[in-house]
Amino acid sequence: MQESNNKQGAYLLGIGTAVPDYSYSQDFALEFNLGIEGTTERQKKFMRRIYAGSAIEKRHSVIADYGRDPADYSFFPPTQSLKPEPTTQERNDLFIREANRLSALAVEDLFARLGKKDTHDITHLITISCTGFSAPGFDFHLARELELPAATRRYHIGFMGCYAALTGMSLAHSICKAEPGARVLMVNVELCSVHFQQRDDLDTMVANAIFADGASAALIVTDPPEADTAVLAFDSFNSQILPDSEEDMAWRVGNTGFTMKLSAYVPRIINENLDDILKGILKKSGRRHGDIDIWAVHPGGKAILEKIEEALQLDPEELSVSYEVLRDYGNMSSVTIMFVLQRILADSREGNVLAIAFGPGLTVETGFMRKISRP
């Protein structure tokens, strides 16, 4: 287990978000998948069960083809079978265009929430994504679009998966420890739907049922704001790899998009290990379970949230924000926990926050924070 902590301040002042223009209900997504030519009765039976139990109502996508006739498709080939599938390059080209656009929209939303009108004081830019890449990437596009100072330090956290936002916040925390006066802009973009593929394997069908697109932006600084506003004061971040779970969740580059390995055992593995991990983290930090006032859990899926409730003996109400984000947006990979934290910042609660996210490896990332209105 690795841990980073700091006595010097690091404050998350606000979170902005953005989603693509296109959205669809979970019922519509199911019908779209059932209508793909070549889908077997076995696949249809499995999909009906997965979609019905997903606890998701709506998702967003950068792909405009959902709801169109095949003849009008602009991304998929104009066939009912969606064959031949778009290549990895074609998918990544779409990612590049839309990541540039959505990242800027998320920052625009952040600055509007903070009443911030210029970017001359930004010292560091952290960008995060596991669903596409290029060099120069959307970090370069943002630096130019926002007219960031030429000396702004840029970091990109790539291909780490759903927990990467906590990795990014840990990096921002370390920067703030090392450089008083640092002002770190952290931007996540995940366009999971770009990698939609019609496959017979259960892993792909589950991924198609839960993943979605979104973007977030956060500003982390060393000095607390003077205004009476809610912020998240960072305390410590931890990372741990679960034993014998490397192949239970994986994300790899294929010829026609990125491919997901998502074992049905993932919720059980998390359930069996999370309590011991949390006990170790709490002991190391001198805290108890009862010291946690607010739980910010990455809603990787309904089954995962239920297993977390069971492992940590939580009431469903304690994870209500996670369930709400899952319902309204689905799983947007690393972006999702930022949507959760945004809602936590907006509600009336204060106190100790524990953020938890999971990803390939299996890796568990946690972050202790404190939500306060007067830093």
Task: Report pLDDT digits (tens) over 168-204.
Answer: 999 999 999 999 999 999 999 999 999 999 888 899 9
Bigger pLDDT: 225 vs 252: 252
Phi and psi (nearest 5°) for 160? Answer: -95, -25
Single-letter residue type at 43: Q
Mean pLDDT within 266-293: 88
Q: Which residues pair with 234 in a beta bridge?
A: 369
pLDDT (0 to 100) of residue 374 = 60
What string of DSSP letters covers 248-271? TEEEEEETTEEEEEE-TTHHHHHH
Structure confidence at residue 266 as a pLDDT band (50, 70, 90): confident
Query: Cα dist. 246→165, 291, 347, 363 in Å?
Result: 20, 32, 37, 9
Q: Is 5's pLDDT higher than 70?
A: no
**Maximal C-alpha separation, the chain:** 62
CA 266 vs. chain centroid, Å, equals 17
Strand stretches in the chain, DSSP E: 2-5, 11-18, 22-25, 58-61, 124-129, 153-158, 183-191, 213-221, 231-241, 249-254, 257-262, 294-297, 351-359, 363-372
Residue 1 has a pLDDT of 41
Do 263 and 248 meet the contact criterion of CB atoms below 8 Å apart? Answer: yes
- Where in the chain are the domains? 229-372
What's the pLDDT score for residue 283?
Answer: 86
pLDDT band for position 244 (50/70/90)?
A: confident
Name the CATH superfamily, with its identifier, for domain 229-372. Thiolase/Chalcone synthase (3.40.47.10)
Cβ-based neighbours of 279, under 8 Å, separated by 6 or more: none
Site of tokens 């741990």: 240
Angle between helices 202-210 and 26-34 (to 10 degrees): 150
User: Distance between CA atoms of 133 and 201, rounded to whole angstroms?
Assistant: 26
User: CB of 372 within 8 A of CB of 230?
Assistant: yes
Q: For residues 4 and 237, what is the distance between their CA atoms, to the nearest angstrom?
A: 5
Mind listing the pLDDT tens digit for each residue in 49-92? 999 999 999 999 999 999 899 999 999 999 999 999 999 999 99
Rounded mean pLDDT of 97-106?
98
Q: Which H helix or E strand runs over 329?
A: helix 320-329
Q: Give the Å distances, CA to CA, from 140 to 103, 135, 146, 153, 154.
A: 11, 8, 10, 11, 8
pLDDT in tens, 39-60: 999 999 999 999 999 999 999 9
Residue 102 confidence (pLDDT): 99
Q: Does pLDDT of 122 surpass 60?
A: yes
pLDDT, averaged across the chain:
93
Residue among 130, 162, 176, 192 flagged as catalytic: 162
Active site (annotated) includes residue 162 = yes
Tally: H helices and E strands in the chain:
10, 14
pLDDT score at 67: 84
Quick check: 49 and 92 in contact, CB under 8 A?
Answer: no
Tens of pLDDT, residue by residue over 296-341, are 999 999 999 999 999 999 999 999 999 999 999 999 999 999 999 9
Asked whether the whole model's pTM tops 0.85, one would answer yes
CA atoms within 13 A on the CB side of 121: 13
